[in-house]
């Protein structure tokens, strides 16, 4: 049987406007497991913050009709496949595999990186099976969690703070650059170099627990929430840190992405977070 992609063209994504990329991307997510609509401003920010190289990203064309697209982030010795999607008109033609093979080729032949990374939403079986078939190995599950605003939030009586020290953007970057565990691409230090106006709190508890949180405070939402415990019980100290954070920001909705420590997540739950969905992180060694 003839391969439908044999008559399709791979076009670098930088030859399209952001408006065209956004329109195509949103079409790929019409019936997606977790809808993630984009607009032009968000797509521009996403490309900058996560080091997406549009010249190495690709769009599949059949004549003048977009069939699918995929983007490639590039950092030092690694690449990251993201925003992979096939439009309804391009499905069941092998377009997803066609895009993946090209992004892997770009990573290996053109960029000469050591590894290529990606995430797939847990429950998206067709994509998960495709990535495994292409040689990607599962590394860990990542939790996306949210916490709704709570103007009446109070700190539990059993939590006793010894000190709470606010820090500015530059100090927040220093904290983030000294984390013990390897973060996921979304939370690597390179990401935060592109983010403005980070804040941080360093917290000491009377029982000897210690840790910090970094975050970005918008008018309506807290984002990029990262917690690190440096002394004491992980879940207990995490909860204490987050209770203080939300005592100071009672009216903001909050999202944290790609938590990978199940014990720490217990502390998030205690502070009022709930699981929105999970991603599965995967990697393919190229050398």
Quick check: 265 pLDDT over 70? yes
Q: Which residue has the higher pLDDT, 166 or 2?
A: 166
Contact 14, 54 (CB under 8 A): yes
Q: What are phi and psi for residue 84, nearest 5 degrees?
A: -75, 130
Q: What is the rounded CA–CA span in Å between residue 20 and residue 92?
A: 23
How is the chain split into domains, by residue range? Answer: 4-113, 144-278
pLDDT, tens digit, 9 for 90 and up, residues 121-143: 999 999 999 999 999 999 999 99
Quick check: 1 pLDDT over 70? no
Which CATH number fits the domain 144-278, given the four candidates 3.40.50, 3.40.630, 1.10.3470, 2.40.160? Answer: 3.40.630
Which CATH number fits the domain 4-113, given the four candidates 3.40.50.2000, 3.40.50.720, 3.30.70.1730, 3.40.630.30? Answer: 3.40.630.30
pLDDT, tens digit, 9 for 90 and up, residues 64-88: 999 999 999 999 999 999 999 999 9
- The pTM (predicted TM-score) of the whole model is 0.94
Contact 43, 71 (CB under 8 A): no
3-state secondary structure of 61: strand
- In the prediction, which pLDDT does 30 show? 84
Which residue is listed with tokens 């697209």?
Answer: 69
Same fold, 4-113 and 144-278: yes
Residue 239's pLDDT band (cuts 50, 70, 90): very high
3-state secondary structure of 132: helix
């Amino acid at each position: 049987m003839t391969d439908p992609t044999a008559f399709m063209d791979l076009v670098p994504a930088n030859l399209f406007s952001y408006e065209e990329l956004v329109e195509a991307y949103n079409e790929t997510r019409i019936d997606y497991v977790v809808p993630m609509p984009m607009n032009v401003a968000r797509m521009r920010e996403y490309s900058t913050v996560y080091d997406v190289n549009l010249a190495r990203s690709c769009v599949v064309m059949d004549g003048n009709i977009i069939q699918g697209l995929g983007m490639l982030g590039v950092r030092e010795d690694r690449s990251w496949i993201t925003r992979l999607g096939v439009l309804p008109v391009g499905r069941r033609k092998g377009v997803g595999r066609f895009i993946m093979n090209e992004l892997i080729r770009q990573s290996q032949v053109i960029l000469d990186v050591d590894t290529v990374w990606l995430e797939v939403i847990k429950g998206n079986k067709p994509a998960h099976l495709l990535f495994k078939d292409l040689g990607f190995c599962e590394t860990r599950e990542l939790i996306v969690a949210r916490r709704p605003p709570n103007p009446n939030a109070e700190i539990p009586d059993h939590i006793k703070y010894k000190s709470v020290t606010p820090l500015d953007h530059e100090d927040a970057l220093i904290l983030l650059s000294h984390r013990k565990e390897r973060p996921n691409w979304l939370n690597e230090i390179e990401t935060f170099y592109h983010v403005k106006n980070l804040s941080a709190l360093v917290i000491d508890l009377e029982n000897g627990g210690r840790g910090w949180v970094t975050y970005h405070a918008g008018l309506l939402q807290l984002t990029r929430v990262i917690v690190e415990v440096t002394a004491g019980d992980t879940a207990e100290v995490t909860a204490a840190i987050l209770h203080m954070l939300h005592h100071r920001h009672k009216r903001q909705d909050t999202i944290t992405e790609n938590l990978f420590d199940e014990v720490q997540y217990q502390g998030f739950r205690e502070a009022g977070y709930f699981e929105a969905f999970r991603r599965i992180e995967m990697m393919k060694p190229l050398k």
